[in-house]
Chain A
Amino acid sequence: MAIEVRVPTVLRTHTGGEKRITGDGATLQELIDDLERRNSGLKPAIVGGDGQLHRFINLYVNDEDVRFLGGIATPLEDGDSVSILPAVAGG
């Protein structure tokens, strides 16, 4: 089971500068926990203390925003691709 994850510039300090990393997991939650084991510091940048996705982080599975799927419980399959993009917002 391999899921490819695209990491934005701002989070590459947690991946040794890597733009693409791979992880495992049957759900997005499991994938994030797996990534955290490999790249310490990534999880707190994505998930809050309440276990939910940060308000200003967008996660996509196969180009669909997971807020329109199952959120952090979205199931994953081998070969899926996940993208992380910080929101672009301001006043």
Chain B
Amino acid sequence: MFYIYCPYCEEHREEEEFHASGEAHIPRPSDPDNCTDAEWGEYLFFRTNPRGLHHELWVHGIGCRKFFNITRDTVSYEIKETYKIGAKPQFTHAEEKV
């Protein structure tokens, strides 16, 4: 259907080889024993649903089997960039902290 650039294989690969794994950059509460139920619930269950730029976790499941991130436009479905785990995205909202 279309190609996605795998930052680990370092080439464009068929979309069929990839799988989306939800929102990226969700920090685990640093002290789970002492965080509130609301904070823990927020971490476990609540996800943003932005119109526009969205950072997502994807996996090259039929390939190198590495997880990586994609910045995608949820309106146009355009993939702005793909980057390795641990790297910072280049495309962000002004108010976003990643």
**A and B, one complex?**
no
Interface residues of A (CB under 8 A from B): none
